[in-house]
Amino acid sequence: MSVRLYSRRSITSLSSVLNVLKSRPTPDQLTYASRSFLDAYTSNDVDGKTKLLLELGQNAGVNHADLEGSISRYSKNNALFMDVRSAATPGFYTLFQSIGNVNGGVKHICDLREFLLDQIRIKSTEKSDLIVLRRLEETCRELLTSWFCLSNLKLCRLTWESPGDIIQKVANYEAVHRVHGLVDIRRRLGPHRRCFYFLHEALPREPLVIVHVALTDQIASNVQKITKDEDLNYPEANDNTAIYYSITSTQKGLSGVDLGNLLIKSVAAQISKEEQQISTHSTLSPIPGFRSWLLRALKEPQNFGNVISDFCLEHLTSITKQKVDPAQARTLLLNLLCNERIELEKIEIVKPILQRLCAQYLCVEKRNGYALNPVANFHLRNGAEVFRVNWRGDTSVRGLYNSFGIMVNYRYVLENVNTNSSNYVNKKVVAIDSQVKDLLFVPMDFAGQNVWSDYTCDQGNWDNFSSNDFSFTNESRAPKPAKVAQPKVAQPKASPAVGADGLTKAERRQKNREAAEAARAAKVERKMANIRRQEETKKLQTEKKNQRAQKESTNRPIQQLNKRETRKRKFQGELQSQIQRKRSRMSDIAAQFKKSREDYATNVSPTVKALIDDYCKGLQETPGCFALLDKEIVGEAPIIPFTNLEWATGVSKKKASILMDALDLTFTPGSLQCKVPIFPSLDDVIKNRKIGAPAKKLEDEIPTVEAQARSFATSDLDTLQGYRFGAALIRKTMGVPKEKREELWKQLLKTIADASNE
């Protein structure tokens, strides 16, 4: 199979690239091969990339014949060991190494390894293909490890004055405790806070791994106190502890490359140099996976081991006031811990059990001899010790879901870091502090002496677990030197000392233990009573809520019907009010018109006055004239032929009526204004093109009408003719279909002609 690639000189396919790798290529040939491979890889989809990498891994591997020959020569001459190394180097190693010399090549190799890790994690390919992909991934990791050494990395501190794109990337990359806006990121960069990151010269503006540090006066046990505390108005000279509360790797392709270890040690050295009062270095770390591990172990003890210890049974017995066996204990814990919404107040009663199981998960549960929890494995490899398990360390939704809100401190004692790291990596010995040791081995006093209770476990790692598996860095826990045996001397047996209360020391201790146990049981009983009381209150509230909901559901149809009736009555009232307001306006208009008509009539001849009265009478007799005012749109009303008025272009599309147009009314939104009637001349009426009749029919009569009109020279008669024409037009054509208007126009013109003959 030959995969065609982007043409670059003589290299046009993967077979050509393979031929270059099998020969002794020049640097230029390797550069061309690298660019061609990158072009083909980036232009393919996921399946195409996988096939391309599989073919590369299968055909550009180790030449076994050359390797066997070099081994044979090395057996005869030890100085030829470099020949063995050269023959054992696969061809794709040379290709990937050459890609690193191309512009942006380091980033390409990082992304390539991320893609390989995803494909290996999916495990959808065949076993033989997985082996090839793993070889390619290991080669990428080897190259990245050599490229991202400490000498090529630059430690930078992020401040508010840093470049904006770097601040934005740091905020976006934060994966442990999300950044909520500019105020949050500014608080993390403010007083008593530090933020450091690594840069590589090949990725100059890309933070590779980021750590957030809080300077405090003690080892913190709560992350909310760090991320949300605003009471920081005190000098930093009072701080003596550096808390590393967030470590984030931004490049998935660099997983397994020990950048986090380098960053923590570099930051610790930098802080110790800048802030000489800082003497303690510790993390405040989440415990991802603890809740899921515990629930699986409770549901399937045969597969994940028994986590129900004697201490757990005794604690649950003291809570329930009855004997609890392991099966009942698992049921009780599952009922309490399986809820999707975890309430700290309810799980508070099993706090000792969860703390002890958390210490077991961190220090005892192993995978291939190392800590099962990935965060614990990371810090233990770096040389830290498990210092303290913190209840209510992270009360966010994410913290409760991952570990019931529990967090852990990994303390870095700088002088013991190398020893702890070596013991963990080579001997698989976990370094823990006395506080965690006390959680793992709780002393129970039964017969006047301290006895360490052991965990019972059907399967798992408990069989090989003993106190010798731990390295205690606390001097108070260091083993004491063996004493030299002294000859025994018989001593007289003394009688038990009796105190003033009439009790011996053993009896007094027993009495104190019983009192303490009774006090503890009373405290647990009070907590249980509070929980029961809260549940009863919650139940009553739920019942009341359901009753209210049922009552509302019963009354809702009636309420909706009442609302509809109310809206209907309101609408009808508003409609009647609108009609009344319109009728009032009509009365006002009629009064204004009457006054205007009277004023006009006083200045004209008796003949004109009689004609005006005749017009008004005829207008009032027109059916439907006043009713049209209550309608929104006038349908087939004719276009008014008054060219010298502002509404003469046509009937209004919003509010219009024949009466308003006849009385020379102008309509403006919210008001009606009445003008003194202005009567156009006969010439203006005849020449108007918007009368609505066919233009040719009307134009045929224009000369006759004009000739007749000119015979009357007086202005009064001119005005009279125009008035008569407009009044007749409005009265006769109201509501008449268009096809009948032609005859009406002729009649109107005849009326004008008759008026001219008077």
CA 577-581-582 angle, 5° bins: 120
Instruction: Please answer whether residues 202 and 107 qualify as being in contact, where contact means their C-beta atoms are separated by less than 8 angstroms.
Output: yes
Question: Encoding tokens for residue 668?
Answer: 């403006």
3-state secondary structure of 466: coil
d(CA 551, CA 414): 69
DSSP 656: -
Higher pLDDT, 553 or 116: 116
Instruction: Please answer whether residues 162 and 115 qualify as being in contact, where contact means their C-beta atoms are separated by less than 8 angstroms.
Output: no
**pTM given for the model:** 0.56
Question: Which residues fall within 8 angstroms of residue 572, CB to CB, at 6 or more apart?
Answer: none
For the chain, the structural domain boundaries read 4-147, 152-283, 290-369+397-406+433-477, 504-580, 604-757
Instruction: Please answer whether residues 175 and 260 qualify as being in contact, where contact means their C-beta atoms are separated by less than 8 angstroms.
Output: no
Q: Which of 254, 250, 56 is nearest to 144 (CA)?
A: 254
Instruction: Please answer whether residues 208 and 148 qualify as being in contact, where contact means their C-beta atoms are separated by less than 8 angstroms.
Output: yes
pLDDT (0 to 100) of residue 698:
41
The amino acid present at 361, given as its one-letter code, is: Y
Question: Which residues fall within 8 angstroms of residue 373, CB to CB, at 6 or more apart?
Answer: 287, 288, 289, 290, 361, 362, 365
CATH of 4-147, picked from 2.60.120.380, 1.20.140.90, 1.10.10.10, 3.40.50.10860, is 1.20.140.90
Q: Give percent above pLDDT 70 in the chain.
A: 66
pLDDT (0 to 100) of residue 363:
92
Quickly state the pLDDT bin for 362 (edges 50, 70, 90): very high
**Maximum pairwise Cα distance, the chain:** 166
Catalytic residue annotation: 285, 379
Quickly state the pLDDT bin for 602 (edges 50, 70, 90): low
Across 552-573, average pLDDT: 76
pLDDT in tens, 176-194: 888 888 888 888 888 889 9
Across 442-470, average pLDDT: 33
pLDDT (0 to 100) of residue 123:
65
Which helix H or strand E contains 106, and what residues bound it? helix 105-122
Instruction: Please answer whether residues 95 and 105 qualify as being in contact, where contact means their C-beta atoms are separated by less than 8 angstroms.
Output: no
d(CA 748, CA 753): 9
d(CA 419, CA 383): 7
pLDDT (0 to 100) of residue 498:
57
DSSP 502: S
Give the sheet arrangement for strand 153-157, strand by strand. 153-157, 193-200, 209-216, 241-249, 280-283, 407-412, 385-390, 430-432, 470-472
pLDDT at 137 over 60: yes
Question: Encoding tokens for residue 219?
Answer: 């080892």
Q: How many CB atoms lie within 10 A of CB 730?
A: 22
Under CATH, which number does the domain 152-283 receive?
3.40.630.150
Q: Which of 434, 464, 463, 437 is nearest to 452 (CA)?
A: 437
pLDDT at 447 over 60: no
Instruction: Please answer whether residues 723 and 607 qualify as being in contact, where contact means their C-beta atoms are separated by less than 8 angstroms.
Output: no
pLDDT in tens, 656-688: 344 344 444 443 333 333 333 333 333 444 444
